[in-house]
Homo-oligomer: A and B are copies of this chain.
C-alpha cells in the first residue's frame, strides 16, 4: 500500500503545483480576485488546475480501492501513467488548448482503468 500512497500524494503535489502556477499567473496578469476570466494565459493554466481537480476526485478513490484488490505493481504503473499524462496535458494546454487531447487521454484512460479494476475487485468480493 505504501507505493500507492506515494503515488496518491505525488498526484496531490502535482495538483498543488498547478494551483501555484495559477496563483503566479494571476499575479502576472494583473487580474484581481474574485475574477477568473479576462486574461487568456491565466485562463489556460486555471483550466489545467480545474481539470486536474476533476480528475483527482476520480483518480484518488479509484487508486486506493483498486490498490486493495489488485497487485500494487499494476496499480502503481497506471498511477505513473496518470502523473505523466497530466504533465503532458499541462504543457500542451498552456502552449495551445487545441493540442490537449493526448495528455487528457493519458490521464483519463488510466483513471478509467482503475475505476473498472476497483469495481471488479469489489464485485468479486461480494460474490
A interface vs B, CB < 8 Å? 2-3, 5-6, 8-10, 12-13, 15-16, 19, 32-37, 40, 43-44, 46-47, 49, 53-54, 56-58, 60-62, 65, 68, 93, 97-98, 100, 112, 115, 118-119, 121-123, 125-126
19 contacts between A and B (CB under 8 A): A5-B118, A5-B121, A6-B119, A6-B123, A6-B126, A8-B65, A9-B65, A9-B119, A13-B119, A16-B58, A16-B112, A19-B54, A33-B97, A33-B98, A33-B100, A34-B40, A37-B37, A53-B54, A56-B57
Residues of B within 8 A of A57 (CB): 12, 15, 53, 56-57, 60
Among B13, B19, B40, B122, the residue within 8 A (CB) of A2 is B122
Q: How far is the CA of A100 from the CA of B34 in the complex (A)?
A: 11
Residues of B within 8 A of A123 (CB): 2, 6
**Is the pair B33, A47 in contact by a Cβ cutoff of 8 Å?**
yes
**Is the pair B9, A61 in contact by a Cβ cutoff of 8 Å?**
yes
Q: Most chain-B Cβ atoms within 10 A of its Cβ — which of A10, A16, A100, A118?
A: A16
Q: Interface of chain A, helix or strand or loop or mixed? A: helix
**Is the pair A12, B58 in contact by a Cβ cutoff of 8 Å?**
yes
**Is the pair B65, A5 in contact by a Cβ cutoff of 8 Å?**
yes
